[in-house]
Amino acid sequence: MFHPPPPALARLLIAACMVAVSACTTGATAEKTATDTSALPAEPESPIREDAKAQPKAPASAEASVTNPETSNKNSRSSESDDERSYLPRADAMRFADEVARRRNLDSAWVRHAIGQALYQPRVPPLMLPPASGKAKNWRAYRNRFVEPTRIGVGVRFWQRNRATLARAQEQFGVPPEIVVGIIGVETLYGRHMGSFRVIDALATLTFDFPPEHPRAQARQAFFQDELEQFLLLCQHTGMDPAEPLGSYAGAMGLAQFMPSSWLRHAVDYDGNGQIDLWHSETDAIGSVANYLKNHGWQRGLPTHYPVRLSPGANLHALLAPDIRPSFTAAEFAAHDGVRLNASGQSHLGPLALIELQNGDPAKRGSAPTYVAGTENFYAITRYNLSAYYAMAVITLGNAVAAARQQGNTTR
């Protein structure tokens, strides 16, 4: 999947591209997550509010049903040839190609060829639509998809063979192994499900055929348009053939499911072989995840969350208002009637957020929500995927793998 560039060509392209990349990373581009399976680019006025409480669409590793798009597309749309699905004849796609070429100082024939070989993927747009409203979120069901014996077992082996790298990443970036192990486990089951859509197909489909019925279609389409542009820059930068890389239906790539913009900004060559390969190098993936979190506010040594004890009838309205953004001191938190932090939570120095995770509709055989007090490190994990459910699944899986590893060590 990853081909090193021919050296002479690569040097030329890298020189041209570094200028372009720095131009886009210093702008006021909205913050984006690494994976963007359900995520929104944060906006100045109301960052992440809409999706922060939502149970996200599952990351690639839980999407077995979308891992073989080519087969299903061919089956379901056998009358449609590749020519009919190609973006080559689309005036809007070619106009965009010319704009990108001009904006980024790229060869316009190369950009037109790259976008022109993209194929519309009919299964992608429906996957972007939010779940039907009124459906209660269910943290326990979500958690059980990720925190289960197979994933824990694979996670223990991943940790074992990468323990030196995980320790190095903790030393350098301050992010503990269980968080990195939790993220890569939830994202791709440690590389088992990295997605099988061509990235160029997924991003072109979401750029030129984003579902108009989506409540935020315009912003989301703009997000993917930018990611398509970033993907082309990434290909120029690395010498990858744009037709080659595979990823999720949203265009997220590799063990850590990085979107192209995140790859350009936060991925690192952590095995020192001179190139970044997030598909095949577990070492590069580990360093990149840790670097991403550090760049998004991770603080060394800070816990992710504390338990919260609630008395019946506790008034949570004010505490829930800022959503997952840590906004209250421990004293302010505990000043609310019926809300109690444990001893370590009470002595926490930074801001906290009351995190609510619904467990289905209590009126329909569901149970009461789960609450924790999230710290700035909990919030940092939500920069990876804008969802409290996602962050809590990452933390819970990482801790479960750590516990299983510990148990294995003591019984061995």
Part in contact with Ca ion (CB under 5 A); list of ranges 15-23, 269-277, 326-334, 394-402: 269-277
φ, ψ of residue 355 to 5 degrees: the values are -100, 120
Least CB distance to Ca ion at residue 276 (A)? 6
Does 43 bind Ca ion (CB under 5 A)? Our answer is no
DSSP string, 254-283: TTTTB-HHHHHHH----S-SSS--TTT-HH
Task: Give the shortest CB-172-to-Ca ion separation in angstroms.
Answer: 15
Number of CB atoms found within 10 A of residue 409's CB: 10
Smallest distance from the beta carbon of 187 to Ca ion, in angstroms?
A: 19
Residue reference for tokens 């239906």: 249
Q: Minimum distance from CB of 277 to Ca ion (Å)?
A: 5
Q: Which of 187, 229, 282, 356 does the annotation list as catalytic?
A: 187
Which 365-384 residues touch Ca ion, going by CB under 5 A?
A: none
Helix (H) or strand (E) holding 234: helix 217-238
Between the alpha carbon of residue 75 and those of residues 50, 70, 124, 189, the distances in Å are 36, 8, 15, 28
Least distance from C-beta 268 to Ca ion, angstroms?
8
Binding mask 216-255 for Ca ion (x = CB under 5 A): ----------------------------------------
- Please answer whether residues 128 and 220 qualify as being in contact, where contact means their C-beta atoms are separated by less than 8 angstroms: yes
Task: Say whether residue 273 binds Ca ion (CB under 5 A).
Answer: yes
Segment near Ca ion (CB under 5 A); pick from 64-72, 113-121, 202-210, 261-269: 261-269
Between 51 and 284, CB nearer to Ca ion: 284
From 284, 289, 388, 402, residue interacting with Ca ion (rule: CB under 5 A):
284
* By the rule CB under 5 A, 269 interacts with Ca ion: yes
Q: Is position 84 annotated as part of the catalytic site?
A: no
Count the neighbouring beta carbons within 10 Å of the beta carbon of residue 157.
12
Nearer to Ca ion, 281 or 359 (CB): 281
Give 209's DSSP letter: S
Contacting residues for 299 by C-beta, under 8 A, at least 6 apart: 174, 350, 376, 377, 380
CB 20 within 8 A of CB 105: yes
**Under rule CB under 5 A, residue 271 binds Ca ion:** yes
Q: Which residue is nearest to Ca ion (CB)?
A: 269
Rank residues 275 and 396 by Cβ distance to Ca ion and give the closer one: 275
2 in contact with Ca ion (CB under 5 A): no
Q: Note whether 4 binds Ca ion by CB under 5 A.
A: no
Closest Cα partner for 303 from 386, 400, 168, 395? 395
**282 near Ca ion, rule: CB under 5 A:** no
Q: Are 21 and 233 in contact (CB under 8 A)?
A: yes
Nearest distance in Å: CB 360, Ca ion:
43
59-86 burial, b at 16+ Cβ within 10 Å, e below that, comes to bbbbbeebbebeeebeeeeeeeeeeebb
Active site residues: 187
Interface contacts to Ca ion, rule CB under 5 A: 269, 271, 273, 281, 284
